[in-house]
């Protein structure tokens, strides 16, 4: 893992999330790109250089934020980017050869019942960039036990397991696989290919209405310090993908959640 990107919002948790990102990047010897995306809506005849003002204020905000954390020996690169959030982040990740994007759950949402706010929800829902959701106020610690929750082990895309492999190798972590048989189960969903077999140590099979319910049932017995899930149309978040905001009553986590891109 060489390049990590952290999009910064306006939440009170931004400082804590950035410090976690620095600590995580240090563990991998990775570069850290700290970015803020802004968009400009101008009216005809506007005399003020709105673009310049927003870019200047955004950069000043990021530099001030970085000055308040311990960057250790991590190379931190500050970028302000103009454009639509998802398109701009996807382009930045492609150009910067980004391995992982680290997001905070609520960003600028102030509602206590919200787990993923509109901004973070968009990033998780509308991109295929591997992401790590870090709980508010969470302090970095080496990962020792990962719970990988899946409803189907069928993998058709190359390299989708790479972020998990990097975490496993770097921290010498144990990866336990939880296969959840849901009403959408298809024949062959629990057949593991050699690549997945090489990653996991232990396999548990369960039957639940949703993958998340399976995680809740087996969470304590596995006691993970990182949860790993997969993006898919009918995967871990299922109907929760219909809206960008995800409520705590539908899903929440007090440990980091690694979100892989779609397997198929």
| Least confident range of 50-64, 183-197, 224-238 | 224-238
Q: Where do the domains of the chain lie, and which CATH numbers do they carry?
A: 3-133 (3.40.50.620), 145-262 (3.40.50.620)
**Is residue 44's pLDDT more than 70?**
no
pLDDT at position 163: 95
Task: Please spell the DSSP secondary structure of the chain, one letter per residue.
Answer: --EEEEE--S-TTHHHHHHHHHHHHHHHT-EEEEEEEE-----TT--S-HHHHHHHHHHHHHHHHHHTS--TT--EEEEEEES-HHHHHHHHHHHTT-SEEEE-SSTT---TTEEE-HHHHHHHHH--S-EEE--TTPPP----EEEEEES-----STTTTHHHHHHHHHHT-EEEEEEEE-TT--TTTTPPPHHHHTT-SEEEEEE-SSHHHHHHHHHHHH--SEEEEE--TTSSSGGGGGSS-EETTT---SS-EEEEPP--
How confident is residue 240, by pLDDT bands cut at 50, 70 and 90? very low
Q: Are 70 and 82 in contact (CB under 8 A)?
A: no
Count of CB atoms situated within 10 Å of the CB of 210: 22
**Is residue 123's pLDDT more than 90?**
no
Over range 66-73, report the average pLDDT.
94
Rounded Cα gap, residues 76 and 70, in angstroms: 11
Please, is 203 exposed, middle or buried when counting C-beta atoms within 10 Å of its C-beta (0-12, 13-18, 19+)? middle
Cα–Cα distance list, 30 to 2, 146, 193 (Å): 4, 21, 30
**Is residue 178's pLDDT more than 60?**
yes
């Amino acid at each position: 893992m060489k390049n990590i990107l952290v999009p910064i919002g306006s939440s009170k948790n931004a400082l804590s999330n950035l410090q976690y990102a620095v600590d995580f990047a240090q563990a991998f010897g990775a570069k850290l790109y700290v970015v803020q995306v802004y968009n400009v809506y101008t009216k005809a005849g506007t005399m003020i250089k709105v673009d310049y003002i927003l870019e200047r204020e955004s950069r000043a905000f990021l530099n001030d934020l970085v000055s308040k954390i311990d960057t250790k020996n991590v190379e931190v690169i500050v970028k302000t980017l103009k454009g639509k959030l998802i398109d701009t982040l996807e382009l930045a990740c492609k150009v910067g050869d980004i391995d992982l994007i680290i997001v905070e759950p609520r960003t600028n949402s102030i509602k206590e019942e919200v787990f993923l706010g509109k901004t973070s929800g968009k990033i998780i829902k509308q991109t295929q960039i591997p992401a790590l959701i870090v709980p508010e106020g969470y302090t970095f610690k080496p990962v020792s036990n990962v719970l990988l929750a899946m409803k189907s082990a069928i993998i058709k895309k190359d390299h989708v397991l790479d972020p998990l492999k990097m975490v496993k190798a770097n921290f010498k972590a144990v990866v336990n696989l939880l296969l959840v048989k849901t009403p959408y189960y298809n024949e062959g969903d629990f057949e593991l290919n050699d690549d997945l077999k090489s990653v996991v140590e232990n396999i548990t099979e369960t039957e639940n209405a949703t993958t998340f319910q399976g995680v809740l049932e087996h969470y304590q017995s596995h006691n993970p310090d990182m949860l790993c899930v997969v993006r898919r149309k009918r995967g871990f978040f299922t109907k929760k993908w219909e809206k960008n905001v995800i409520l705590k009553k539908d899903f929440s986590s007090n440990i980091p959640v690694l979100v892989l891109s779609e397997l198929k």
